[in-house]
Amino acid sequence: MRNSSGRGLQPNVLGTFDTIVMAIAGSAPAYSIAATTAVLVASVGLAGPAALLYCAIPMLGIVLAFSRLGRIDVNAGASYSWVGRTLHPFLGFLSGWALVVSATIFMVAGSLPAGAMTLALFDPALAENTFLATAVGAAWFLTMLLVVLGGARLTVRAQLLMSGVELLILLAFILAALLHNGSAAAFDWSWFGFSHFDGPAGFASGALVAAFYYWGWDVTSNLSEETRDSRRTAGLAALVGVGVVFLLFEAFTIAVNVLLTAAEIKADGANVLGLLGDAVWPGVGGKLLVVAVLLSTVATLETTLIQVTRSLFAMGRDRTMPAALGTVHRRWNTPWVAVAVVGAVALAMFVASTALGSIGDVLSAAVAAIGLQIAFYYGLAGIAAVVAYRGMLLTSVRDFVLGGLWPLLGALFMFWIFVEALSELSAASIAIGIGGLAAGLVPMIRYWRRGSSYYRPARLDATRAVAAEEHYANSASQRTDYADKSPATDF
C-alpha cells in the first residue's frame, strides 16, 4: 500500500560509493569507540578484540541475510517487510519496532558523547556535566534532524565530507599508535582468545556490546528505495562497510589495551578517545580525536534518523502505524511527519535522560538495551533469509553456505547472546530493552484489528522471485523504449 499522498521516496539518489559511505557512517567508527569502549572493557576487560572478532563472524551472516533478502524485496522497512512476509506479520512488525525503539534511544546515547566532547574542547571539567552535555547534544541532534529533513541528496553530500575527514583522522592515529611505545600493557595474542572471558555469560555480554559497535550498516537496506540498482548495491555496500569498520574497531581496541589502563578508562569512559589521543599525541591528539568523534556522531545521527524515519514511513504506508507517517514532503521527498515525530520523542528523552545520572550511566544502560533490540531484529532477519531461500539452498554449495548455513548461524548467535546477556544486564537495561519491545504490542494489535493489509502478506519466496525476475528481464530486453530494467518494488 502506498502512502496517503500517492508520493513515494525519490528513487536513484544514491550510487554505489555513496551507499558504502552510508554503511560506514552508520556503524560510526569514532563514535562507537568513544561511547562503547568503556562499556566493553567493563564487560570483558582485555578480551575486547576477541569480542569484536567473534561477533563479526556471525554478523557477516546477518549481512548476507540482508543482502539476499534485499534482492527479492526492495522496501524501506527492510526487516519489517522481510520478516513479516516470511515468518509472520506479528514478528515482522516487532522487528521493525525494535529498530524504531533502538534508533530512538540512540538519539540520546549518540548525542551525549557529542555534547560531552564539544564541551571538552573548551574545558574538560564541563564534559562531566550531564545537563550541559545533554543540552549541547540536543543542539547537534536538531541540526542533523534538519539536514535529514532536507532530503537524501543533502544528507549524502554531508556524509561524504564528514566521514571522509573522520576516516583520515582515525587512520592517522592508527599509524601513530603503531609507532608509539605502550604504557599499560604489552600486546598479547591471548586478547583474541577465550581466556579473558568470564564464562559463557561474560562472553555473551561482551558480544552484545560488540553488536552495538557494528550496528548501523543496515541503513543501506532502509535506503533501498532511493538507491540505484539497490538489489545489488545495498548488500555490497553493507559488506564493504562492515569490513572497514571491523578493521578500525580492532585496531583501536588493541591500542586502548596497550596504551590505557582499565582504571583510566573507567575514570573517564565518556572521553576514552581523548585519553587515547593525548597518550599518542600529547596536547593536540586528544582534541583532534574529539573532532573525529563529533564528525562521527553527526554522521551516525544522520544515518540513524534515516533508518528510523524510513521504517516509520514504511509502517505508515502499510497502515500498521498512523497513515500520516507515510506522508512524503512534496519538495524534499522525505517522510517529514516521521521526522517530526522522531524529533519530538527524542527531545523528550533528552530531558528524561538527565534524571538517570552521569553520562557514563546513561550510555551504559542505553548501549546494553539497544544491544538486546539489535540482536532481536538481526536474528529474525537471519531466519527470514533461510526461509525465503529454502527452495534454493541445495542447488549449490555456495547457496547452501551463503544463503542458508551462515545466515542461520548468525541468527542463532544473535538469539543466544540475547538470552545469555539477560542474566548479566542491569534492571535499567532490561527494562529499556524488553519494555521497549513490549510497547510495540499496543500499535501492533490495534492496527491488526483495523485490518491492515500488511497482516495478509504475499509470501516472500526466492524461487518464485528469481523466476519472475528472469521473465521480467527477458520481456524488457525485447523493448527498445525501456530505460530502467529494475522494478521499483518487489517482484
* H helix or E strand, kind and range, residue 151: none
Taking residues 448-465, report their average pLDDT. 90
Q: What is the mean pLDDT of the chain?
A: 83
Q: Report the C-alpha gap between 251 and 249 in whole angstroms.
A: 6
Who wins on pLDDT, 172 or 109?
172
pLDDT of the residue at 184:
63
Phi, psi values for residue 171, rounded to 5°: -65, -40
Q: In terms of Cα–Cα distance, which of 259, 62, 21 is closest to 272?
A: 259
| pLDDT one-digit tens code per residue, 342-361 | 988 888 877 776 665 555 56
List the grid coordinates of 147. 539536514
Out of 68-82, 156-170, 453-467, the most confident range is 68-82
Q: Report the C-alpha gap between 358 and 368 in whole angstroms.
A: 16
Start-end of H helices in 333-457: 336-353, 359-388, 397-400, 406-421, 427-439, 441-449
pTM score = 0.85
Asked if the model's pLDDT at residue 446 lies above 80, the reply is yes
**Hey, what amino acid is at 180?**
H
Integer CA distances (angstroms), 376 to 139, 174, 417, in order: 31, 33, 10
pLDDT of the residue at 409:
95
Percent of the chain whose predicted confidence (pLDDT) is above 90: 33
Asked if the model's pLDDT at residue 99 lies above 70, the reply is yes
Considering the domain delimited by 16-460, tell me its CATH architecture.
Answer: Up-down Bundle (1.20)
pLDDT of the residue at 382:
96
CB 368 within 8 A of CB 421: yes
Who wins on pLDDT, 400 or 28?
400
Q: Which residues contact 100 (CB under 8 A, 6 or more apart)?
A: 308, 311, 312
Asked if the model's pLDDT at residue 165 lies above 70, the reply is yes
Per-domain boundaries in the chain: 16-460
| pLDDT one-digit tens code per residue, 379-430 | 999 999 999 999 999 899 999 999 899 999 999 999 988 887 787 777 778 8
Task: Establish how many alpha carbons lie within 13 A of residue 242's alpha carbon, considering only the half-sphere containing its beta carbon.
Answer: 29
Instruction: Count other Cβ atoms within 10 Å, centred on residue 474.
Output: 9
Confidence of residue 42 (pLDDT cuts 50, 70, 90): confident
CB 381 within 8 A of CB 82: yes
pLDDT of the residue at 39:
79
Phi, psi values for residue 103, rounded to 5°: -65, -40
Name the DSSP letter for residue 456.
S
Residue positions counted in the chain = 491
pLDDT of the residue at 264:
73
Q: Report the C-alpha gap between 103 and 308 in whole angstroms.
A: 6
pLDDT of the residue at 341:
92
Q: Report the C-alpha gap between 166 and 441 in whole angstroms.
A: 40
